[in-house]
Chains A and B, each alone.
Chain A
Amino acid sequence: MKHDNINHAKAAADFLQDREQARWHDSAIWWVRQKRDMQAKQLPEWEQLRALAQQIKAHTLSRLDEYLEQFQRNAEQNGVTVHWAADAEEHNRIVHGILAAANVKKLVKSKSMLTEECGLNPFLEQHGIEVIDTDLGERIVQLRHEPPSHIVMPAIHLKKEQISELFHKELGTEAGNNDPTYLTHAARANLREHFLSAGAGLTGVNFAIAETGGVVVCTNEGNADLGTALPAIHIASMGLEKIIPKQAHLGVFTRLLARSAIGSPITTYTSHFQQARPGGQMHIVIVDNGRSDILGSDDFYQSLRCIRCGACMNTCPVYRRSTGHSYSYIIPGPIGSTLGPSRDIRKHGSMAFACTTCGSCSNVCPVKINLHEQLVLQRKRAFDAGALKPAKKMGLLAMRFLTQHPSLMDAGGKLMRKVVPIVPQALTQHSAWSRPGRELPPMPAQSFKEMWQARKENKQ
């Protein structure tokens, strides 16, 4: 879970104090963006695929109720128990109910941002159930008691040396052995014990197919497969926007997902789950938790097309220079900066401003969400909700007034041009503009308006 009241600007400034680590973070993630470009370039139909994915999702969202009901009917026909959760609390109660009924003491979990959103781990731990995250990156951040910093690469903010130190402390690996293969083997051996002793496995859902009632889980480590094959109970938790109508649509998304996410042609495992294994149970929990409200918003419903690939984070120049931990909502980066404020504008308002509106996110998005525009529209909500700092709001109201009174704006501009050059540097160097290492522009003697009028008089 994230701490309350994270202010992006402040958290990012703290992160940037270690410029070397920050540069490393930027280049590590930029490398993933480059891998994405190389994969995308190999498909001549890339832009058509994006357009198709957008259309399939847009169609599905336009009749989501019908597809959800169809999905439920087909899943139940397959013998799956379908649960509906209006919010995070209900989701957690349902999962706990399933585990308690079967007297499960340990749950193995594959990566699921939804359970992070719902705060499932602390809830179950409070009820005496041990939860083991089995995705390697998730396991690392779980052992560090911190939230994931990225939705696809949860521990991308850490270097191998830091992981070696953590594993030495938590798993008893050799001190100072930073070899990634050695460390991965140690985690694997430790996780294997948990897979064998767990009473249930929980997975997220990448796609839920209305026509078959089945769900699809994409991973690279095979942990979802072990976690569902060994324990007798499989719980799949999904946000209600994960639906696609037909099996035939799946290929459009699997072709886009791994290429966008990590620059691979496909995830190592694309696992289809349709029914419980003999003697076992399969449950699907369909979660709303604010999604219906987003669906009802003209400005933001498009964000529900998201397939959680993380490409918008990898391309975001602000994200790369601030880490996921600088964002208050559990999902960071551009997509998180519309989902978070949609959930709570007062709590997550600063996220909408953590953006230069460069628009790169909207261009990499495999389902063509207008991300950078959504962030600007979230700022409207922040303004209207009174979530802006008073000084900033005053500045805007002054600007609003000056925009309507050009002669006053000209006078203000002239004053600035005359005064700035004679103000001692000691006074300006602490301004937000100059403090981090940036000079004010030279102040010209005349504005263009003055030059233009003088030129006109000379001509006459």
Chain B
Amino acid sequence: MNVALFIPCFVNELYPHVAMATAELLEGYGLNVDYPLAQSCCGQPLSNNGDSQGACDAARRFTGVFKDYDYIVSPSGSCTSHVKHHYGWYIADDADYQAMQPRVYEIVEFLQDVLKVDRLPKPVYFPHPVSIHQSCHGLRELGHAAPSELMIPYHSRLERILQLVDGVDVRLPERRDECCGFGGTFSVDEPEVSVAMGEDRVAQHEATGAEFIVGADPSCLMHMGGIIRHKCRPIRPLHIVEILTGRGGAA
């Protein structure tokens, strides 16, 4: 099974350890992991700001780079969702895209739905209270959990995968899935609202008594992390793959 890592552009520059943990996790399950060097940005910032030409070009480029792999796996719910659910706005008729689209996965989805894992490659002991951060696109577009608005049976991928970790104490914040306020360029277009949302979100995670905020999207974690550092708070954001590879405390 040939798996391509789709590493979002900002993760490549700012969170290389999250990308490396994703690679190691997949390799830990015996997969042949490749990182196509020709990849760049998936085009979500262009799409979200109305640049359809740029977003369309990015979608074609992405498809060209990734179409021949068995699976395309990413540690970001938002970027995965853009490729999986919004490229259709631009290149719905592209046969290569149609063939590739079902094989694009966010890492936790991939572990649970494709590999159907029931253990971690190496046993992990993480004796800490963690507060779950549901990132919006992973939650509402990929179905990472049952969104609080929908009256459907409760489920949560992050809670389920954390059952494979020894010692971890999983907690949920008040308003279990409110947005952290990042929103890509929203964070700089509307900085005051963005930070107000982020401050409230961090406070809700802190109120659980957790030592870590655990999520599956580096962008939300970056945003909350910026607020946490500004306020010199002890709670730390952590990507789920950092826990699953046993690198948790290092961040």
**A:3-27 near B, CB below 8 Å:** 8-9, 12-13, 16, 19, 22, 26
Question: Are B14 and A41 within 8 A (Cβ)?
Answer: no
Please, what's the 1-or-0 string for B216-235, where 1 marks a CB less than 8 Å from any CB in chain A? Answer: 00000011011101110000
User: Among A109-117, A198-206, A348-356, which stretch is in contact with chain B?
Assistant: A348-356
Q: Is the CB of A448 within 8 A of B20?
A: yes
B183 touches A400 (CB 8 A): no
Given contacts A438-B195, A440-B226, whether A362 and B11 have CB atoms under 8 Å apart is no
Taking a contact as CB atoms under 8 Å apart, the answer to whether A321 and B196 are in contact is yes
Take A396-B51, A402-B40, A448-B7 as given contacts and tell me if A437 and B188 are in contact as well, using a CB distance cutoff of 8 Å. no
Complex interface residues of chain B between 4 and 54 (CB less than 8 A to chain A) = 7, 9, 11-17, 19-20, 23, 35, 37-41, 43, 45-54
Instruction: Pick the interface stretch among A238-246, A329-337, A403-411.
Output: A403-411
User: Chain A residues with Cβ under 8 A from B95's Cβ?
Assistant: none
10 further A-B contacts with Cβ under 8 Å, apart from A360-B136, A448-B35, A452-B19, are A26-B200, A353-B49, A359-B137, A376-B47, A382-B50, A396-B45, A413-B9, A432-B189, A433-B187, A450-B16
- Give the nearest-CB partner of A450 in chain B: B16
**15 residue pairs from A and B, CB less than 8 Å apart:** A47-B150, A47-B152, A355-B183, A356-B179, A364-B149, A376-B50, A380-B50, A383-B50, A404-B40, A436-B192, A436-B194, A438-B191, A438-B227, A448-B7, A451-B16
In the bound complex, do residue B188 and residue A12 qualify as a contact, i.e. CB atoms below 8 Å apart? no
B178 within 8 A of A: yes
Interface hits, A318-372 → B, CB 8 Å? 318, 321-322, 353-360, 362-364
Asked if A63 is at the interface of the complex by the 8 Å CB criterion, the answer is no
Q: Cβ of A392: which chain B residues have Cβ within 8 Å of it?
A: 49, 189
Query: Number of contacting residues on A, CB 8 A?
Result: 76
Query: Are A416 and B13 in contact, CB atoms less than 8 angstroms apart?
Result: yes
User: B96: CB under 8 A from chain A?
Assistant: no
A358–B182 alpha-carbon span in the complex (Å): 10
A40–B150 alpha-carbon span in the complex (Å):
9
CA of A453 to CA of B35 in the docked complex: distance in angstroms?
10
Residues of A within 8 A of B230 (CB): 437-439
A448 to B51 CA separation, bound complex (whole angstroms): 28
- Whether A438 contacts B198 in the complex (CB less than 8 A), given A356-B179, A382-B50, A432-B188, comes out as yes
Q: How many angstroms between the C-alpha atoms of A354 and B48 in the bound complex?
A: 12
Q: How near does chain B come to A36, taking the closest CB pair, in angstroms?
A: 9
Question: How far is A37 from B19 in the complex, measured between Cα atoms in Å?
Answer: 38
Chain B residue nearest to A19 in the complex (CB): B196
A439 touches B49 (CB 8 A): no
Q: A358-B179, A444-B16 are in contact. Are A47 and B149 (CB under 8 A)?
A: no
Which residues of chain A come closer than 8 Å to B195, judged between CB atoms? 436-438
Rounded to whole angstroms, the CA-CA distance of A44 and B152 in the bound complex is 9
| Alpha-carbon gap, A19 to B196, bound state (A) | 9
Contacts of B54 in A (CB 8 A): 396-397, 399-400, 403
Q: For the complex, is B250 an interface residue (Cβ under 8 Å from A)?
A: no
Whole-angstrom CA separation of A322 from B191 in the bound complex: 12
Chain A residues lying within 8 Å of B50, measured Cβ to Cβ, are: 376, 378-384, 388
- Docked pose: A162 CA to B147 CA in angstroms: 36
CA A30 – CA B179 in complex, angstroms?
13
A417 at the interface (CB under 8 A from B): yes
Tell me the nearest residue of chain A to B141, going by C-beta.
Answer: A359
1/0 contact trace for A429-449 toward B, CB 8 Å?
001110111111101101111
How far is B141's CA from A453's CA once the two chains are assembled, in angstroms? 33
CB distance from A380 to the nearest CB of B (A): 4
Nearest first, the 5 A-B pairs at minimum CB distance are A356-B183, A383-B50, A400-B54, A379-B50, A363-B149
- The answer, yes or no, to whether A317 is at the interface (CB within 8 Å) is yes
Cβ 8 A contact of B137, one of A318, A357, A403, A447: A357
A358 near B136 (CB under 8 angstroms)? yes
CB distance from A13 to the nearest CB of B (A): 4
Find chain A residues with CB under 8 A from B117 CB: none
Among A318, A378, A388, A435, which residue has its beta carbon within 8 angstroms of that of B193? A318
Q: A residues within 8 A CB of B211? A: none
